[in-house]
Amino acid sequence: MTAPALKWNGNMNEGAIEGVSKLIKKNGIEIVDFKFNDLPGLWQHFSIPSSELAEIDDPMTSIWAEGIGFDGSSIRGFQQIQESDMILIPDAETAVMDPICETPTASIICDVYDPITKQPYTRDPRYIAKKAEKYLKDSGLADTSYWGPELEFFIFNDIRFGQSVNKGFYYIDSVEGEWNSGAVEQPNLGYKPRFKEGYFPVPPHDSLQDWRSRTILQMIRAGIPIEVHHHEVATAGQCEIDMRFDTLVKMADRCMMFKYIVKNIARKNNMVASFMPKPLYGDNGSGMHTHQSLWKGGKNIFFDEKGYAKISQMAKNYIGGLLTHADALMAFCAPTTNSYKRLVPGYEAPVNLVYSMRNRSAAVRIPVYSENPKTKRVEFRPPDPACNPYLSFSAMLMAGLDGVKRKIDPGEPFDKNTYEVSRSEAKKIPTVPDSLEKSIEALENDHKFLLDGGVFTQDVIDVWIEYKRSEMDKVRLRPHPYEFYLYFDI
């Protein structure tokens, strides 16, 4: 199957463009902000006065057709200096009132194009996600995939870090931190969630209730349906906000807006949000458990009344693909050196490459909260929120589809608590890689399934591997503060 054809004017939706005009007039928009994704997963942006938008009644000669130029060599993972000119084409369907800016601002997500070939840019993460969705439809196996990531994060009150030739440190503080139970706070009012006891206590232990409520209301205003919010397990302000499931590209777009809102509302309240997988030693890290299902003709084809945990054979094969390619998937789903401080065997992280219903110690869990066929899905638990959602969702979909096409058998479910099995039995359970280096090596050796249909391209794989190895070198070459504790007096 060849790469899906997406054209220069692929975002040309005159109805949506007219909707942008109405949004601007109704809300007195003065600024239009254009956002796009770099390869590692951070939003980039620039803004123009709303008066600079071309007349809506002639969209073919406007910014919607011709795009906006930018320097691709200044964006991580994009172009080299001699090929820096790139084009952004706004996607009018993504236009919303920016939920953060004080000046009335419209926020629009863009796709990246090459001005010479007039083709979508192969390293644009959003383009990869669009190709993954089209590949699914063209496969005939299903026509829609639904995604429901659970992003965990920390809200801190202070963070400092630094690294130079002669020093390196980090310092985190939180009014909720258990370590502050004896601090002189004039007054210290107590109610610090103990380590691993932050899950679901009411205020005053949960000091962030109102903050999260204000945050989700901003998300809802920005078009993100929210199902629930709560404090998470760790001390020191660990939170979770769950979005209602949606299709792949839309959910990846929402993940980016989600992080944008969380970070900025924290900052406006003199706090700081971190999606780092493992910022604290000795307590739970932050994951991004990702629920996923395949649908065809409006029917959830992961459901089977007679199957294990009421999942179909297709769902089992999809799980087989996730487990078979899990090592390579981690290069996109757990893409930082810090990710592997969370993915440690023997703790609460889901490192074991088995599947089970209800069992949160398995890499793949099949939720059984409801018997409604529409709710049946699989949950892949190793990913973390440091990932680029466009790439991680696309990679998981491609792994699952490879399992379906090849009818990969995931074996028998593992319904035991993997933390309580014998040592000899535990050694037989495969686990995710224990370092970014091993995940990158796995991707290097196992990425053919990602190239199917031209969804990922070899240049994306190559630049990802190169970029991540440079990150590993930066960490590997620097002394660690704890090494001084262990070795200074040798």
Residues recognised as catalytic: 71, 150, 152, 232, 240, 289, 360, 379, 381
For residue 78, give the nearest of 123, 117, 125, 128 by alpha carbon. Answer: 123
The tally of CA atoms less than 13 A away on the side-chain side of residue 94 is 24
Q: What is the DSSP string of 366-431?
A: E--S---GGG--EEE-S--TTS-HHHHHHHHHHHHHHHHHTT----S---S-TTSS-HHHHHTS-B
Taking each continuous run of H as one helix and of E as one strand, the counts in the chain are 14, 18
Q: Please state, in angstroms and rounded to a whole number, the distance separating the CA atoms of residues 319 and 312.
A: 11
Instruction: Quickly tell me which residue has 């998300």 as its tokens.
Output: 219
Token pair recorded at residue 196? 């691993």
Q: How many residues does the chain have?
A: 490
How many C-beta atoms lie closer than 10 Å to residue 111's C-beta?
22
Contact of 75 with 423, CB cutoff 8 Å: no
Contact of 320 with 396, CB cutoff 8 Å: no
Show Cβ contacts of residue 49 under 8 Å, excluding neighbours closer than 6 positions. Answer: 30, 31, 32
Q: Please state, in angstroms and rounded to a whole number, the distance separating the CA atoms of residues 194 and 210.
A: 21
CA torsion sign for 244, 245, 249, 255 is positive
